[in-house]
Structure 1
Amino acid sequence: MAQANQQVLDNTSREVTKFCQPQDTENLQLAIIHSKPSDEHQKQLYDLFGLSLSFWSKYEQEASGYFAAYDYPDPANALGAHTTTLRLLIKVAKTPEHPHSKDYAWLEFGIFTHWVHGGKVHVLVQCGDQPTTIDVLKRLHTEPVRRRCTRDPYAVQAYILEHLVKEFDASVWSWRDRVRQFEKDRLKPKTKAKAVDTTSEPDPDYQRMHEVARHVIHCTEMLATAINVVDSIIEEHSAFLTDNHHLLQSATFETRNVPSMLRRHRSFLKAFHLRSQALQDRLSNEIHLAFAAVTQHDSKVAVRIAEATQSDSASTKTISFLGLIFLPSTFVCSLFSTSFFSLQPTVDLDGSQGTPSTTHPDNIPTYWIVSDRFWIYWAFAIPLTLFTILVWSIWQNYTALRHPKASDMIPKGMKFGAMFSPRSKDRKRYLNGLNEIELGQKDCGPV
């Protein structure tokens, strides 16, 4: 990696050195660099061509796009040179080389032109090492393109922008493919065989969706910036023609065709911008639909849980009702089976057998005996019952203090009024007050 970076710096140094050397035999001089030149070369470019040092500053290098034009007078106070600086950024999707690499890339384009009346132009381009871009830039040396660029100072921008417009188009389509993939993934269950379980839980990749949405927003921003940049180029070109029309009398066709080309580029960029905005809307629709699908699935699950709970509740009620039926008899049985009650035959009491009964199932006469200490049962049962109720009440109040609810803060007078008030209007008023308190629309003040 370090060796590759050093090689890029060396190539930049060679290109700038060659660019700064006078070439009287060439009327168009081109330099393509892939990194910032050294401070010495930056100063040399400023001294020879007027390329501002701020062109290499951080805020201009990281700007999403801008355009500027400057005139430099000659000793006779006429136009000596006309310079322009242009910068654009393009964000494209790409297939990551490995799982931890980025799935997108920034294409940077910085263009500087130095045009001198009389047919000489210097072009410095700072960009990536994309082969297609380099091939397009090298075609500036072809005769038709070079002739246009030497006759009109804005023909270079018009020519390079034609390639950048194609890059913007490719950028929008690359993100369109990502958005379309989400749409296809959503439609897959409907196109599969009937054996597919359509009730399975939806599992949208929200994080991935929002990542793509972020990139599409950047793409839209870059297109809007590019449109503003082209507008600035058209305005500056119009102003240049107005101020220097006498210098371009022999370039009638170039001065007419360059604005036409720029307007054409702008119309394409506006179309791509609308397409990018449509991608944002489509992706936003997919995100909302994914949320709705998950919510709908959760609602169906909640309904099934409620139905199962209702069934369990019915079973519980049945069991509770059966227990309620047997509870009184169980209590009576338990009470009379204690040692406080005793059923003894008469033979056990006076030593005689007695006369068998002829009217009852019991053939042996018996006596029903209740202990005179039966009060002990109530002496323990009643206090223990009251103590249990007291402990339960304390525990309930403690839980309500730790986890308060609106219903716990309702005054008891209001609760009793809602249940036992003799007048229906009063009961309705109390009930309305209870509802307002539970909904948080009313303070729990005195009733």
Structure 2
Amino acid sequence: MSQHSRTSYTKNSIDSQTPLPVKVLEQSTTDSRDWEYRETDINESITDPRIQNIPTFVFANSDVLRGGALDLRARLEGYYGMPTDIWSDTQWESNGFFGCAGDERVRHKTWFRFLIKMVVQKKNKETGYIETTAFGNPQYDYYWHKMGFFSTWSPKGHRSILCLDCPPEFVGHIHKSLSSVGGESFHIDPYCFHPFIVGGVVSTFDASIWALRDLVRMTEKNRKRDEKMADYEDHFDYLHEISRHVNHSGETLTVATEVMSKMVHRHGTLLARAEGAPDLHRDAIMQVDDNLDFYQGLLFGFKCRCESMQQRHQSEISLAQSRAVASDAAAMKAIAGLTIVFLPATFVSAIFSMSFFESGAEWGLSPKMWIYWVIAIPVTLITVLLLRKGPKGSIMRFFTF
């Protein structure tokens, strides 16, 4: 299983001239609804004057940049306006952020980040069925999507967003979304890229939450009452592992809603400035604002769903623990029952072994042995009956007086 942990890098460990392959999704110059893919190098995508005014989504992997390509970092920081300490562990390994700088009338830059945890149920390669634990719960793997975004926009210059470490499904969702809307806002609003990015993030969060929900639902459906204690111990480990993933999702969703809140707030100031703008411009900015607000609501809904899932899963843990306690109580009750059965006879035997009774010079079975059984058996039966039918706790209160 993958682990969410920090990774240390050494500066200059990778040649600063190492090319960074990217996939570019750019708007067609003839049809604003048509977007085309092409593969190139990051240097070409930020230096080619032909595409300076063309809106572009640039998708790349961050390994080279995180590895210490200092010259390449400097060029990207200059083009996208990234903070110089964006590659530090403090920022790069954070669970989310949003920042912006610049005047949208000249040049506006934003940088933001989302983390999403994904769980995937394991399937047997031969049968295709989901592999399960001894308790009947599905086995799974997990991994993280750690996506970073950097946008730059000016009325007559750069219009691009760099998307780092995005999964293929995310890229496909953005392409599909772009093909269904017009591209007028890309020439008007510096936040024109953000609704499509956030839409992909929402889609990825949706898949993440439902995958976790399936695991939680399976634990609810696989409740068993007659399991051995060892099985319950394994089940506890499984339940707590699922709880860890659900808690992580709750954390990242909380941060994501805060990121969206900051983004919507910042765009609201842009909308307020557009009061005297032409209707076409104001309508385009208003549409972007409405889309961002809509996705913010969806993320909040996911957060509520995750909180509900946390409560459901905690109920399963409590139920499993109560059953384990009940199993322990049943075992203790059996032990107490055996003790009660043998205690009166032991007590009577102790009485007869005292010096109040005399024995002959030779060992033998006394003809008066029947006296022991006549006394021990009734005392045992009376004790058991009092425990079963007597007032609750009366025996215990008698002996603890």
Same fold (TM over 0.5): yes
**Cα pair distance change 1:140/1:69, threshold 3 Å:** farther
Q: Tell me by how many angstroms 1:142 deviates.
A: 4.7
The letter of the residue matching 1:257 is: Q
Pairing 1:69–2:100 present = yes
Quick one: distance in 1 between partners of 2:203 and 2:321?
36
Query: SS of the counterpart of 1:53?
Result: coil
Query: SS of the counterpart of 2:56?
Result: strand
Pairing 1:42–2:73 present = yes
* TM-score, normalised with respect to structure 2: 0.69
For structure 1, the 5+ residue unaligned runs are 74-78, 190-197, 335-434, 436-447
1:195-248 alpha-carbon deviations (Å, 9 max, x no partner): xxx485561522222221111111011111111111111111111233465667
Quick one: distance in 2 between partners of 1:114 and 1:316?
89
Residue number in structure 1 paired with 2:9:
none
Q: Tell me by how many angstroms 1:105 deviates.
A: 1.1
Q: Which has the higher contact order (CA 8 A, sep 6+)?
A: 2
**Cα pair distance change 1:108/1:277, threshold 3 Å:** same
**Cα pair distance change 1:121/1:142, threshold 3 Å:** farther
The letter of the residue matching 1:223 is: L
Query: SS of the counterpart of 1:55?
Result: coil
Query: SS of the counterpart of 2:258?
Result: helix
Residue number in structure 2 paired with 1:53:
84
**Cα pair distance change 1:325/1:88, threshold 3 Å:** same
Residue number in structure 2 paired with 1:125:
163
Larger radius of gyration: 1
1:222-275 alpha-carbon deviations (Å, 9 max, x no partner): 111111111111111111233465667542221111111111111111111111
For structure 2, the 5+ residue unaligned runs are 1-13, 24-39, 125-130, 132-138, 363-399
Quick one: distance in 1 between partners of 2:343 and 2:72?
84
**Cα pair distance change 1:102/1:203, threshold 3 Å:** closer
Assess if the C-alpha contact under 8 Å between 2:178 and 2:196 holds in 1. no
**Cα pair distance change 1:40/1:200, threshold 3 Å:** closer
Q: How does 1:232-311 map to 2 (within 5 A)?
A: 232-243=262-273, 250-311=280-341
Assess if the C-alpha contact under 8 Å between 1:12 and 1:35 holds in 2. no
More helix by share: 1
Residue number in structure 1 paired with 2:35:
none
Quick one: distance in 2 between partners of 1:291 and 1:89?
32
Quick one: distance in 2 between partners of 1:263 and 1:93?
28
Assess if the C-alpha contact under 8 Å between 1:72 and 1:80 holds in 2. yes
Residue number in structure 1 paired with 2:241:
211
Q: Which has the larger displacement, 138-147 or 203-212?
A: 138-147
Quick one: distance in 2 between partners of 1:62 and 1:293?
40
Query: SS of the counterpart of 2:190?
Result: coil
Query: 1:329 pairs with 359, 366, 382, which one?
Result: 359
Quick one: distance in 1 between partners of 2:219 and 2:19?
41
Aligned residue pairs total: 314
**Cα pair distance change 1:112/1:224, threshold 3 Å:** same
Q: Tell me by how many angstroms 1:303 deviates.
A: 1.0
Pairing 1:91–2:117 present = yes
The letter of the residue matching 1:301 is: A
**CA-atom RMSD in angstroms:** 3.4
Q: How does 1:50-199 map to 2 (within 5 A)?
A: 50-71=81-102, 79-95=105-121, 103-118=141-156, 121-128=159-166, 130-138=167-175, 142=179, 144-186=181-223, 188=224, 198=226
Q: Tell me by how many angstroms 1:53 deviates.
A: 2.3
**Cα pair distance change 1:208/1:134, threshold 3 Å:** same
Assess if the C-alpha contact under 8 Å between 2:80 and 2:150 holds in 1. no
Q: Tell me by how many angstroms 1:97 deviates.
A: 8.7
Q: Which has the larger displacement, 234-243 or 271-280?
A: 234-243
1:312-354 alpha-carbon deviations (Å, 9 max, x no partner): 2233335445555994033xx36xxxxxxxxxxxxxxxxxxxx
**Cα pair distance change 1:148/1:142, threshold 3 Å:** farther
The letter of the residue matching 1:203 is: Y
Query: SS of the counterpart of 1:124?
Result: strand
